[in-house]
């Protein structure tokens, strides 16, 4: 797994997952891990950064078995940023395709 390929794209994957509904950190780690390797520490750093930039709000939910979960919820700003980032990504993939075909 080429770590460099993920630069900037992991952010899009996280945002796109949250666009489907609120999720907590550990849950995101597991979902993304189904497709590609990702260190859990990386996810938490990314989540904190995106929260600092006001792309999400968070709330805690207690659980019967295990520690509390911190859920992330996209803000309006987060939603429009997700759309921009996604279309930027699709454009980029097209550009690369034309260069490597």
Partner DNA sequence: ACAATATATGTTGTAATGCTACATAGATAG
Partner DNA sequence: CTATCTATGTAGCATTACAACATATATTGT
Residue 66 interacts with which of its own copies, DNA, none, CB < 5 to 8 Å by class: DNA
Residues whose CB falls within 8 Å of the CB of residue 60, separated by 6 or more in sequence, listed in order: 68, 69, 70, 71
- 76 makes contact with its own copies (CB under 8 A): no
Choices 3-11, 73-81, 82-90, 92-100 (CB under 7 A): range interacting with DNA: 3-11
DSSP state letters, 46-59: HHHHHHHTTSEEEE
- 96 makes contact with DNA (CB under 7 A): no
Residue 96 interacts with which of its own copies, DNA, none, CB < 5 to 8 Å by class: its own copies
Question: Rg of the Cα trace of the chain?
Answer: 15
> Which of residues 19, 33, 48, 94 is near DNA by CB under 7 A?
48
* Residue 43 main-chain phi, psi, to 5 deg: -60, -45
Show the beta-strand stretches assigned E in 10-94. 23-24, 56-61, 69-74
> Which of residues 19, 33, 68, 83 is near DNA by CB under 7 A?
68
Note the residues at the interface with DNA (CB under 7 A): 1, 3-4, 6-11, 24-27, 29, 37-42, 44-49, 63-70
């Amino acid at each position: 797994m080429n770590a460099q390929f993920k630069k900037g794209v992991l952010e899009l994957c996280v945002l796109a997952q949250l666009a489907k509904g609120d999720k907590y950190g550990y849950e995101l780690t597991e979902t993304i891990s189904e497709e590609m390797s990702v260190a859990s520490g990386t996810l938490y750093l990314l989540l904190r950064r995106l929260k600092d930039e006001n792309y999400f709000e968070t709330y805690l939910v207690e659980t019967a078995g295990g520690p509390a979960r911190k859920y992330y919820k996209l803000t309006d700003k987060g939603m429009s940023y997700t759309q921009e980032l996604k279309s930027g990504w699709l454009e980029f993939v097209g550009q690369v395709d034309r260069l490597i075909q």
